[in-house]
């Protein structure tokens, strides 16, 4: 067996409409489908990334909050690749999203920064690698 790529990341949110706006309007993900499950009282929103990966956004009433920030067992953070990390940081900051300072990965030399979604889930935006011919790596 060989894993090919991440298919999706699943996130449970506290306020569905607030998180939906953040992931679609602020981060620019496209809605694939939205489903309400009346027997559970929950909603699931499937969002598309340009590379075919997905973010599943769930609202499950009564789900507990994240126990600590950011170092809790389980998922540490989600990282998305962007071509211009400084421009992405400036754009988010101008939109009123609190962002951390730009940092440089000591192992790759690539720049990155962190922000949080509406439920304080850490999100990293990471500078995409460029090949010698100027195209982005997948």
Per-residue model confidence as pLDDT tens digits over 6-56: 889 999 999 999 999 999 999 999 999 999 989 889 999 999 999 999 999
Q: How many domains does the chain have?
A: 2
On whether both 9 and 51 belong to a single domain, the answer is yes
Q: Could you tell me if 4 and 34 lie in one domain?
A: yes
**66 in a structural domain:** no
Mean pLDDT in the chain? 88
Are 44 and 37 in contact, with CB atoms under 8 Å apart?
Answer: yes
22, 56: one domain? yes
Domain annotation covers residue 105: yes
Domain boundary among 37, 61, 85: 61
CATH number at residue 54: 3.10.180.10
The domain boundary, picked from 35, 61, 87, lies at: 61
- Indicate whether 119 belongs to any domain: yes
Distances (CA, A) of 56 to 30, 39, 51, 127: 11, 19, 15, 23
In this prediction, residue 137 carries a pLDDT of 47
Residues 4 and 25 both lie in one domain: yes
Give every CB contact of residue 22 below 8 A, 6+ residues apart in sequence.
117, 118
Grade residue 66 by pLDDT with cuts at 50, 70 and 90: confident
57 & 86 share domain: no
pLDDT (mean) for 86-110:
95
pLDDT on residue 5: 81
Answer whether residue 67 is part of any domain.
no
pTM: 0.81
The per-residue pLDDT for 9 is: 93
Task: Please check whether residues 137 and 82 belong to one and the same domain.
Answer: yes
Burial call 42-78: b when 16+ CB within 10 Å, e when fewer? bbbbbbebeeeebbebbbbeeeeeeeeeeeeeeeeee
pLDDT for residue 107 is more than 90: no
Q: Kindly tell me if the per-residue pLDDT of 134 is higher than 60.
A: no
Domain hosting residue 51, numbered range: 1-61
pLDDT, residue 7, reads: 84
Question: Is there a domain that residue 30 lies in?
Answer: yes
């Amino acid at each position: 067996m060989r894993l090919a790529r991440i298919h999706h990341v699943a996130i449970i949110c506290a306020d569905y409409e607030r998180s939906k706006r953040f992931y679609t309007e602020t981060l620019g993900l496209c809605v694939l489908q939205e489903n309400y499950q009346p027997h559970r009282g929950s909603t699931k929103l499937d969002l598309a990334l340009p590379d075919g990966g997905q973010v599943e956004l769930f609202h499950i009433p009564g789900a507990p909050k994240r126990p600590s920030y950011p170092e809790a067992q389980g998922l540490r953070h989600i990282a998305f690749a962007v071509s211009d990390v400084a421009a992405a940081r400036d754009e988010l900051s101008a939109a009123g999203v609190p962002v951390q300072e730009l940092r440089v990965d000591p192992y790759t030399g690539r720049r990155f920064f962190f922000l949080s979604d509406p439920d304080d889930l850490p999100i990293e935006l990471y500078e995409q690698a460029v090949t010698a011919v100027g195209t982005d790596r997948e």
